[in-house]
Amino acid sequence: MPVRPDPTAAYRWRWAVLGALLTAEAMNVLDSTIVQVAAPVIRAGLGGSESAIQWFSSAYTLPFAAFLILGGRLGDLLGRKRVFLIGVAGFTLASLCCALAPGAGVLIGARALQGTAAALVIPQTIGLIRSMFAGAELARAMSTIGPVMGLSVICGPVLGAVLTHADLFGSSWRAAFLVNVPLAVAVLATGPLLREDRAARPPRLDLPGTGLAVLGAGLVVYPLIEGGDVVRPGWGAAMLVAGVLVLVAFGLHQRRRARRGRAPLVEPSLFGDRVFPAALATSTLLFAVTNGLMLVIVLQVQLGLGRDVLTAGLTLLPWSCGLAISSAIVGARMTPRRLTRVMFAGLGVLFAGVLGALAAYAGAHPWPLLAALAVCGAGNGMVTVPFFTAALARLHPHQVGSAAGLLNAVQQFGGTLGIALLGSVFLHGLAGGSDAGAAAALAFGLGLVLLAATAVAAAFMRAPVVPAPERERAAAGEPSRSPL
- 51: domain CATH number is 1.20.1250.20
Check whether residue 149 and residue 92 sit in a common domain.
Answer: yes
Determine contact, residues 184/327, Cβ cutoff 8 Å. Answer: no
Alpha carbons 373 and 369: distance in angstroms, whole number: 6
Residue 6 belongs to some domain of the structure:
no
Check whether residue 39 and residue 157 sit in a common domain.
Answer: yes
Check whether residue 26 and residue 156 sit in a common domain.
Answer: yes
Which range among 3-12, 64-73, 458-467 has the greatest average pLDDT? 64-73
Cβ density class 180-189: b for 16+ within 10 Å, e for less: beebbeebbe
SS (H, E, C) 95-132: HHHHHCCCCHHHHHHHHHHHHHHHHHHHHHHHHHHHHH
Alpha carbon distances (Å) from 442 to 279, 356, 429, 430, 446? 27, 14, 8, 10, 6
| Listed range (47-56, 288-297, 320-329, 330-339) with the worst mean pLDDT | 330-339
First and final CA of the chain: distance in angstroms?
61
Question: Angle of helix 275-299 relative to helix 339-360, nearest 10 degrees?
Answer: 20
Residue 480 belongs to some domain of the structure:
no
Determine contact, residues 212/253, Cβ cutoff 8 Å. Answer: yes
Alpha carbons 412 and 405: distance in angstroms, whole number: 11
- pLDDT confidence tier of residue 118, bands split at 50, 70 and 90: very high
Of the three residues 245, 264, 283, the one that is the final residue of a domain is: 264
Q: How many domains does the chain have?
A: 3
pLDDT of residue 232: 55
pTM comes to 0.82
Residue 1 belongs to some domain of the structure:
no
DSSP-derived secondary structure letter, 192: G
Alpha carbons 316 and 304: distance in angstroms, whole number: 16
Check whether residue 109 and residue 242 sit in a common domain.
Answer: no
Residue 315 belongs to some domain of the structure:
yes
Alpha carbons 420 and 413: distance in angstroms, whole number: 11
Check whether residue 401 and residue 426 sit in a common domain.
Answer: yes
Residue 481 belongs to some domain of the structure:
no
pLDDT of residue 471: 46
Check whether residue 155 and residue 282 sit in a common domain.
Answer: no
Residue 200 belongs to some domain of the structure:
no
pLDDT of residue 479: 41
Amino acid at 327: S
Check whether residue 239 and residue 304 sit in a common domain.
Answer: no
pLDDT of residue 473: 46
Instruction: Quick: pLDDT tens for 194-240.
Output: 888 776 676 677 888 888 888 988 888 888 887 655 445 577 778 88
- Residue 86's nearest CA partner among 17, 204, 187 is 187
Average pLDDT for 52-80: 87
| Helix intervals (H) in 167-226 | 175-178, 180-189, 207-226
Alpha carbons 450 and 117: distance in angstroms, whole number: 31
Q: Is 2 exposed, middle or buried (0-12, 13-18, 19+ CB in 10 A)?
A: exposed
Alpha carbons 423 and 480: distance in angstroms, whole number: 50
Alpha carbons 345 and 337: distance in angstroms, whole number: 14
- Residue 29's nearest CA partner among 375, 411, 419 is 411
Q: Degrees (nearest 5) of the Cα angle 166, 184, 147?
A: 80
| Helix intervals (H) in 227-308 | 235-259, 275-299
Average pLDDT for 75-103: 92
Residue 86 CB-half CA count within 13 A: 14
Check whether residue 302 and residue 451 sit in a common domain.
Answer: yes
Instruction: Quick: pLDDT tens for 340-354.
Output: 888 999 999 999 999
Residue 196 belongs to some domain of the structure:
no
C-beta neighbour count of 339 within 10 angstroms = 21
Average pLDDT for 117-145: 81
Phi-psi domain of 49 (left: phi exceeds 0; alpha: psi -120 through 50; beta: other): beta
pLDDT of residue 134: 77
Higher-pLDDT residue of 154 and 169 is 169
Of the three residues 248, 264, 280, the one that is the final residue of a domain is: 264
Alpha carbons 288 and 367: distance in angstroms, whole number: 25
Check whether residue 124 and residue 257 sit in a common domain.
Answer: no
Mean residue pLDDT of the chain comes to 82
Average pLDDT for 361-380: 83
Residue 177 belongs to some domain of the structure:
yes
Of the three residues 217, 241, 264, the one that is the final residue of a domain is: 264
Contact residues for 166 (Cβ-Cβ < 8 A; gap 6+): 175
Domain residues for 119? 12-191
Check whether residue 260 and residue 281 sit in a common domain.
Answer: no
Check whether residue 236 and residue 335 sit in a common domain.
Answer: no
pLDDT of residue 178: 92
Determine contact, residues 422/443, Cβ cutoff 8 Å. Answer: yes
Check whether residue 259 and residue 277 sit in a common domain.
Answer: no
